[in-house]
Amino acid sequence: MLVLNTVIAFIVLVLFEPVESIINGELEQWNRHGYLVKIFSREPNSNIVTSCSGSIISASLVLTAPNCIRNATTHERFGEVAVNVPTFRVPRTLRAEILNVTDAWALLKIVKLPVKDLCPPNPAPVRVSQLNVRVSLTKSSMETIDHSSLTERDCWITAFATTYHASTFLHQHDVRKIQLEKLKPSYDNMNTGAIVYKAAIVSNRTACWDDAGAALTCHTNAFGDVQVGIFHSLSLGIYESAGEVNDDETTTSARSMDQCSRAVSMNFALIANDIRLIRAIERNDLPAFVDVYDKCNFKYAENIGKN
């Protein structure tokens, strides 16, 4: 099991890479989207901490993007990973174990969170990101969502608001929500095994690099609001793709933010219908997963044929 001797020291005593998060989204409060977490990681023998986003999917499982926990070039897993969760009193940072990694998603395990905090009484919102599954004590089954139907669905991404100083990101509680334009299949990422959909960026409302791992949520008839994907990357305009970025007397963070603000689309890896994820949940945390779905009252709708 991956162990961090002192999680807070891991984050505080090393250097953050610049943090670039959602730009121009609708302001929300973290406690209204309690499934949203911050993920911090660093490579072995490195003093640089990178930051990402993720979502709580059970009392001890967190879902994020693969590039949040491994080197994009070598695919070597990072040596240390920590997850900052909202405990709905004071956020806390927990050590994390890397369980599984695919081209579409990465699954982390943390110390078990209190189910009463994740599934509060109505009208408080649940603090777990729901997947398109039916659960029992012996197995879980994924109920198919037609990917093509997502192009007609109401979908959004929620992640942390931009902070212009990386050291303040740990204490950022404000989040931003972006209602997405129509999702469409993307054919720009054929070198990955993930199924990628994209949404055009309108009025400069976009996620940025450190929102990688944030949940793509869509409203479906069968499940209500369900996580169907994970934010992976941005598609830049023709000039940015060619490396034409204005860098005269600007910081790395400012240049990165400038790139994000001029991106043309957001790219999401779909997780809906990925049986590998269900099998990973079954192997690592099925009882707790079932318990959360019961306590949070995630009820599978009868009109399954209209997903």
CATH number of the structural domain spanning residue 231: 2.40.10.120
Is residue 166 domain-resident?
A: yes
Q: Which of 52-61, 224-233, 234-243, 293-302 has the lowest mean pLDDT?
A: 234-243
For residues 20 and 256, the answer to whether their CB atoms sit within 8 Å is: yes
Each residue's pLDDT tens digit, 181-240: 899 998 775 566 789 999 998 887 888 878 899 999 999 888 889 999 999 988 876 544
Is residue 42 domain-resident?
A: yes
Whole-angstrom CA distances from 149 to 144, 220, 224 are 11, 9, 14
Q: What is the mean pLDDT of residues 159-180?
A: 77
**How does the average pLDDT of the chain come out, rounded?**
79
Is residue 131 domain-resident?
A: yes
Each residue's pLDDT tens digit, 69-121: 988 777 788 889 999 998 666 678 899 999 999 999 999 999 999 999 999 99
Range of the domain at 248: 7-306
Is residue 2 domain-resident?
A: no
pLDDT at site 191: 60
pLDDT at site 65: 95
Is residue 150 domain-resident?
A: yes
Is residue 1 domain-resident?
A: no
Is residue 31 domain-resident?
A: yes
When divided into structural domains, the chain yields a total of 1
1 or 192, higher pLDDT: 192
Q: Is the pTM of this model over 0.85?
A: no
